[in-house]
Amino acid sequence: MSIEDDVALLERVPTLRLLGKAALRMLAIGSEQRDFRRGDVLFTAGDEADAGYIVRHGSFRISDGHGAEVIVGPGALIGELALVVAMARPSTAAALEHSSVVRIARSLFQRVLEDDPAAARRLRDEFVSRTSQIASDMLMASAKLTT
């Protein structure tokens, strides 16, 4: 795949699209592709999270070990928070079929944000908006449970 193909894939991810073409190009150049067979594990709950993954093709089951799971396919960003903060993986992700991902290391992502403060501000604003929405949703749910 070409760098332009990788940039196009990254542009499909709403969070990454906020960064702009120049930042996406830097991510595409510095990222790596990884291939998985059916049943291969991308990561396990408790693992150190040092990268995010964009599904190029195929699909992955992400499960939290408590019965909650989601299946994601091409264009999905897995491990978004790992791009910005050191943490343990809260879930396990396994390939459901032959699949490939683009791996973006946190160190690369942080260098891109340092080199492009405007992109970093757009990403910060998106995270603030999401956090505010989650807080509002939780208050509404709490109100419904107490009435």
The pLDDT score that the predictor gives to residue 1 is: 67
Q: Do residues 37 and 98 touch, judged by C-beta distance below 8 A?
A: yes
pLDDT along the chain (147 residues), means of 10: 89 92 93 97 96 97 91 96 93 98 96 91 83 79 78
Q: Tell which CATH classification among 2.60.120.10, 1.20.950.20, 2.60.410.10, 3.40.50.360 matches the domain 3-146.
A: 2.60.120.10
The count of C-alpha atoms lying within 13 angstroms of the C-alpha of 14, restricted to the half-sphere facing its C-beta, is: 3
How much helix, strand and coil, in percent to the nearest 5, is found in the chain? 45, 25, 25
Q: Do residues 28 and 2 touch, judged by C-beta distance below 8 A?
A: no
The pLDDT score that the predictor gives to residue 66 is: 85
Q: Do residues 51 and 107 touch, judged by C-beta distance below 8 A?
A: no
